[in-house]
A and B are shown apart, each in its own frame.
Chain A
Amino acid sequence: MIEIVIHQQHFILHPSGGIYWKETQTWLLADVHLGKVAHFRKHGIAVPRKIEGIFYQKIDRLLKKFPSKRVIFLGDLFHSYQNNEWYLFEAWVNKQKAKLILIQGNHDIIPVKEFKILGLTVVDSFEEDEFYFTHYPIEKEPYFVFCGHLHPGAKLMGIGHQQLKLPCFYQTPKKLILPAFGSFTGLHLVSPTTEDQVYAITENAVLEIEKKN
């Protein structure tokens, strides 16, 4: 885990791909893509079902780790139309005490009212203090932006032609893009500039990556 400070607020970057905002006891999670496995299977593509339950195990562990009052999903919570995954999600939501906020992403095509019935707050984006929360990576003066959508990944190089591709947190002066929290998701490789920071994640660690010309 790595803790970073933005506008005097403290954020913990967690290996799961989530960010914990200490002062407000909030978890930020991007691109969960729930129901993707079911969507593929419904169309005759045999993705193993074992991946389906992973989200719930992962998030339950996070919520127990720190006091958690609130979870903000930064878009693409569901991958596609409503399917059987919804029942699992409903069962999970019913057990939660934290406030759940969904920022709509391009994949979120399930009608808003369905989420509202479950008690979620659904918005396009919102600001709080010096921060702005949205799905798409945009810059919004004078705010610092937290967002998803990209599924950022870093291609690391080393001596002896070593190479590794890993999901990462991608921070520019004005925004931070979270890696996809979902398990059955791909990577988009980023091309950082000198003023950007890249934090790669492994199963157990978050590591800041050195940059070279």
Chain B
Amino acid sequence: MKELFSWFKGQKWVPQDFQIECWTAYSEGKNGMLHAPTGSGKTYALWGAILQDTIKNKQYPLGLQVLWITPLRALATEIQKATQRMTTDLCPGLKVELRTGDSPQSERTRQKRSPSFGLITTPESLHVLISNKEHKRYFENLQIIVVDEWHELLGSKRGVQIELALAYLRSFLPKLKVWGISATLGNKTLARKILLGNTKKYTSITAQIQKEIKVISIIPNKMEQFPWRGHLGIHLLPEVLKLIEKNKTTLLFTNTRAQCEIWFHKILEGNPDLAGSIAMHHGSIDKKIRLWVEDALRKEELKVVVCTSSLDLGVDFSPVESCIQIGSPKGVGRFIQRAGRSGHRPNVPSKIYFLPTYALELIESVALQEGIKQQKIEDRIPYLNAYDVLLQFLMTLAVGSGFYPDTLFPVIKKTFCYQTLDQKKWHWLLNFLVKGSQSLEHYDEYKKVNVLANGLLQVTHKGIAMRHRLSMGTIVSDADLKVRYQKGGYLGAIEEWFVSKLNPGDVFTFSGHNLELIRLQHMEVIVKKSKIKKAKVPAWMGGRMSFSAHLSDLLKLTLQNKTHKNSPEFVALEPIFRQQQKESILPKPHEFLIERFHTKEGCHTLFYPFEGYAIHEAMASLIAYRISLLRPISFTMSYNDYGFELLSDQAFDKISFLDNDLFTTQYILEDLEKSINLSEMARRRFRDIAVISGLVFQGFPNKPTKTKHLQSGSQLFYNVFKDYEPDNLLYQQAIEETYDHGMERGRLLKVFEAIQRQNIVWKECNQPTPLSFPIITDRMRTKLSSENIEDRIKKMYLQLEKASR
């Protein structure tokens, strides 16, 4: 260990306890899990341990030894630089290389021929490596896999990709060591088990870095004029400008890219002197620009950076003095992570300002502060039975060296995700690949995976192999088009659906500039700078996050707990609470509030369980379903973290609603399943599944025409499976995911039990209440109907095109 100590000394650093613990545990041959926040020196903890092992062996090993997996490409570069530096000092001659989707083909071929000592890569690129025919030889010397930022991957399908890759590599590398690095999360033990598997030789190390976090709410001066709904918070621009002025460097966190673009513009408009010292950072901006921003941050050349979650992870920006969070961060864990980006110097607290986008969001600030105090970090819920990812993985093996089903089955069973996979489902999956999930072969020309004479499953058709290689990866998004100046120079990538709404001559805001669309050409958007001030802002899809369960518990506590009544946030909210009480009530712990009022949009009925978005989604469709059994009626539903709304063209009767005991826990799961089918909540889930499993092919980059006759939307598949093949596992998966990832079945039952003990307070209101306002103005809605379709159509109409332009 002396080499490491002296290297640290050379950097004028002192090794921290958790780093030494890692070095020791690793030298004892253990697997492990390191919980350490971003920017704490976690990379050196693991990489130091690995190098120490190499030094001990005196002779340099041959072939690929270390695989380091990180969720973001941008992080990969950073880690490669850091690890290469340490390696050059301690083991001169050894190389650490990068392998991501950005790596050019020549680089990949060279890496295949002469593998480096270490390779930094992403989950997708790891699968690409496995799809290689010669992958077993390539990996034969592999000693250790490090999975970085495991907490980011765990609750996603990319986490399942990691599980599959690890189980598969372990099957022919029995001595393979695995280490995970993760921020703190609620379900630490589960996170460790999923990654390390059944091994008894492991250790868990937690970096004891307690950082004080100061949360300050930005409270509007005139609360009466602050909007009841909204998502931008632009009203508070003057306060933000003051904060930027006061601090050396500020990070402004937004939740969506659209917010990010708008805030960037408004800040610059508000203080033109900031030109040159303001920058923007989000996932759609060209990599070069992003790297420049990160670099400039480090060099203290920037005063403010407006960003999205793209700056949540990775790189250490010591000069950042304060952070501003626009709107709810939706979870305690994320909020802490963002706050932690500021005040990196020892003994300086991290400071984060919470900027509400609408009045009631101030309550969330109080709930978040409480959450930080109690260290209520969220769980990450891992996926179970993600058949789409498994089908993709089986194809990945089949386009490479192929696989024998009987040998592979026990390997797949070892993963957490597929622990309950049985022979029947396994055969369904194989049949899907080999025969296209049919039993009849009459006239069928289905071609995908072939069964060779020796029982090996392999793809022999070149076109099919090619299509799979191009569509590997679990992150689903619309096709991205590159944005380029006419005179040259890339600005980034923009989603196709947004561009499709523009005509040449239209002006839109992107990457902080107002750009005029000149034309679309080969998947490129050709633009020039525009002087026009008013522009369309791309409202990127996605990014709609649900409140965590912890946060909703905290929210309820905060609202009903008297101890917070004197906090500045609650004092500011006084007028809003008064308005709420004038029109309705603020429910007490033993009360369950239902509000009813009419607007020109129809009849609104609002329910307030305060259980968080996910539970409300389930409750809304369940209650809508039960009401729809009483009489034919059509509902559209919307929800937020406080409650949900059932909107209908006709009012349903209060008395029969109350008399029929619609909150009963009897048949709750059966009713829920029926309501999911009826409301088609699963439809949205199916989009990702169709792409991941290879049903929907998104086209070759730059060659969109070749696949013309093979393009089809996921919605069409959803309909077809629903009508003709409801036992299809991919269709079933969409429904299961809606249950498990959306709504947490077990918790739902408890919520209904709790309501049974509450008094239902039904308030007829003359106008929308402050509590209801953010819900009823939400445009994202689910539908459920028990009316006959022809009857519904008779009440509907077609919107005529507005005479535009």
Contact = CB atoms under 8 A, between A and B. Distances in A.
B603 interface: yes
A164 B792 contact: yes
Nearest to B636: A161
A162 B783 CA distance: 8
A185 B711 CA distance: 11
Interface stretch (A38-46, A110-118, A134-142): A38-46
Interface stretch (B326-334, B740-748, B760-768, B794-802): B794-802
Nearest to B432: A46
Contacts of A7: none
Contacts of A47: 436, 717, 720
Interface in B631-671: 634-636, 647-649
B724 interface: yes
A61 B436 CA distance: 30
Contacts of A202: 789-790, 793
B602 interface: yes
B733 to A, nearest CB: 14
A198 interface: yes
A162 B636 contact: yes
Interface stretch (A65-73, A97-105, A150-158): A150-158
Interface stretch (A18-26, A79-87, A125-133, A171-179): A79-87
B712 A40 contact: yes
Nearest to B439: A49
A186 B697 CA distance: 15
B63 interface: no
A210 B797 contact: yes
B601 interface: yes
Nearest to B715: A186
Contacts of A88: 443
**Which of A42, A186, A210 has the largest number of chain B CB atoms within 10 A?**
A42
Interface in B712-755: 712-713, 715-717, 720-721, 724-725, 728
A209 B798 contact: yes
Contact of A184 (B601, B716, B779): B716
B790 A209 contact: no
A158 B795 contact: yes
Contacts of A203: 789
Given A39-B709, A43-B463, A212-B798, A87 B443 contact: yes
A180 to B, nearest CB: 11
Nearest to A49: B438
B440 interface: yes
Contact of A41 (B446, B728, B798): B446
A209 B728 CA distance: 36
B602 A51 contact: no
B709 A211 contact: no
A186 B716 contact: yes
A99 to B, nearest CB: 27
Contact of B710 (A43, A157, A211): A43
B712 A186 contact: yes
Nearest to A47: B720
Interface residues of A, number: 52
A205 interface: yes
A159 B464 CA distance: 47
A204 interface: yes
A14 interface: no
Given A43-B463, A191-B801, A159 B447 contact: no
Contacts of A155: 798-799
Contacts of A8: none
A157 B438 contact: no
A46 B602 contact: no
A210 B436 contact: no
Interface string A27-59: 000000000001111111111111100000000
B798 A211 contact: yes
Interface string B445-460: 1111000000000000
B716 A49 contact: no
Contact of A40 (B438, B710, B798, B801): B710
A192 B634 contact: no
Given A43-B710, A44-B461, A202-B790, A194 B800 contact: yes
Contacts of A46: 432, 436-438, 446, 448, 695
A193 B801 contact: yes
Nearest to A204: B790
B801 A158 contact: no
A211 B649 contact: no
Contacts of A186: 712-713, 715-716
B145 to A, nearest CB: 31
A155 B797 CA distance: 9
**Which of B440, B461, B712 has the largest number of chain A CB atoms within 10 A?**
B712
A191 to B, nearest CB: 4
Contacts of B444: 38, 41, 49, 84
B793 to A, nearest CB: 5
B720 A51 contact: yes
Contact of B649 (A45, A84, A154, A159): A159
B601 A159 contact: yes
Contacts of A200: 793
Contacts of A184: 712, 716, 720
Contacts of A42: 445-447
B709 A161 contact: no
Contact of A79 (B437, B440, B601, B709): B709
Contacts of A213: 799-800, 802
B176 to A, nearest CB: 32
B649 A160 contact: yes
Given A44-B467, A51-B720, A192-B801, A164 B447 contact: no
B299 interface: no
A207 interface: yes
Contact of A211 (B440, B447, B634, B797): B797
A212 B636 CA distance: 21
B38 to A, nearest CB: 41
Contacts of A94: none
A180 B635 CA distance: 29
Interface string A159-170: 111111010000
**Which of A45, A49, A156, A198 has the largest number of chain B CB atoms within 10 A?**
A45
A163 B447 contact: no
Contacts of A84: 443-445
B448 to A, nearest CB: 4
Contacts of B447: 41-44
Nearest to B637: A161
Nearest to B713: A186
B588 interface: no
Contact of A45 (B635, B710, B793, B795): B710
Contacts of B790: 202, 204-205, 207
B349 interface: no
B197 interface: no
B437 A212 contact: no
A191 B798 CA distance: 9
Interface in B777-794: 779, 781, 783, 789-790, 792-794
Contacts of A49: 436, 438, 440, 444
A158 to B, nearest CB: 4
A139 B716 CA distance: 30
Contacts of B464: 43-44
Contacts of A39: 709-710
B725 A50 contact: yes
B694 interface: yes
A162 B728 CA distance: 30
A210 B798 contact: yes
Given A48-B728, A161-B647, A209-B793, 9 more contacts: A43-B710, A44-B694, A50-B725, A158-B634, A159-B795, A160-B648, A184-B720, A193-B800, A207-B793
* Nearest 3 Cβ contacts at the A-B interface: A160-B602, A44-B448, A46-B436
16 contacts: A41-B444, A42-B446, A43-B463, A44-B436, A44-B464, A47-B720, A49-B438, A51-B720, A84-B443, A156-B798, A158-B795, A158-B797, A160-B603, A160-B647, A207-B790, A209-B793
